């Protein structure tokens, strides 16, 4: 993940955490966690650049990020460009395959809805389904995504 994207995501997560979990902030974001509380996810919808009050707003490529509180799998070695925590979650965005997360924050939100196995949630191009163990999230446009649980992680 590029530094600019990391900073943008971190800022969006901080802002998003200030919004009540039951709100979807105009349909641009959704938070959820698994019933056991181990997987916490945030979905951010792609936004397009627009003109508002004579000013151009910035486009933001959406993404889905899931953080795990506990896991037994090992992420690859921390890259030199990551100055904060590495590999405790996964992210899939508008382009390219899913990646491990480099972030100094978390998307965990205890007041977000808890979803059980068989539940699914969609926001824009992103779809997440809760599995009997873990979560599977996909960019439905290009097929990239991840499946993550306490025991295993798969990036595609």
Question: Which tops the pLDDT comparison, 122 or 16?
Answer: 122
Residue 73 structural domain? 3-48+55-155
pLDDT score of 35 more than 70: yes
Residue 70: per-residue pLDDT: 97
The pLDDT-based confidence of 139 (bands split at 50, 70, 90) is very high
| The pLDDT of residue 3 is above 70 | no
Mean per-residue pLDDT for 128-143?
Answer: 97
Confidence of residue 51 (pLDDT cuts 50, 70, 90): confident
Give the pLDDT band of residue 52 (cuts 50, 70, 90): confident
Average pLDDT, the chain: 85
Please give the C-alpha separations between residue 151 and each of 39, 74, 78, in angstroms, as whole numbers.
12, 10, 20
φ, ψ at 49 (rounded to 5°): -65, 140
* DSSP 8-class letter at 5: H
* Least confident window among 52-56, 66-70, 77-81, 102-106: 52-56
pTM above 0.75, yes or no: yes
What is the rounded distance in angstroms from the CA atom of residue 41 to the CA atom of residue 107?
Answer: 6
Q: CA 42 → CA 2, 18, 80, 81, distances in Å?
A: 19, 13, 26, 23
More confident residue, 58 or 82: 82
- 51 membership: H or E segment, kind and range: strand 51-52
In sequence order, which ranges of 1-156 are alpha helices (DSSP H)? Answer: 3-18
Residue 60 is predicted with a pLDDT of 76
Number of domains composing the chain:
1
Taken in order 97, 100, 104, 108, is the CA torsion positive or negative?
A: positive
Mean pLDDT of the 110-115 span: 94
**Above 80 in pLDDT, residue 24?**
no
32: β partners: 41
Q: What is the pLDDT of residue 26?
A: 54
């Amino acid at each position: 993940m590029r530094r600019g994207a990391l900073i943008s995501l971190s800022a969006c997560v901080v802002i998003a955490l200030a919004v009540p979990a039951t709100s979807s902030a105009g349909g641009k974001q959704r938070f959820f966690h698994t019933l056991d509380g181990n997987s916490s996810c945030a979905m951010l919808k792609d936004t397009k650049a627009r003109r508002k009050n004579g000013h151009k707003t910035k486009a933001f490529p959406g993404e889905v990020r899931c953080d795990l509180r506990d896991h037994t799998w090992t992420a690859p070695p921390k890259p030199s460009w990551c100055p904060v925590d590495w590999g405790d979650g996964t992210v899939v965005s508008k382009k390219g395959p899913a990646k491990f997360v480099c972030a100094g924050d978390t998307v965990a939100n205890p007041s977000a809805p808890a979803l059980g196995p068989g539940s699914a949630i969609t926001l824009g191009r992103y779809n997440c389904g809760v599995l009997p163990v873990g979560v599977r999230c996909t960019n439905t446009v290009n097929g990239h995504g991840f499946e993550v649980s306490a025991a295993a992680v798969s990036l595609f």
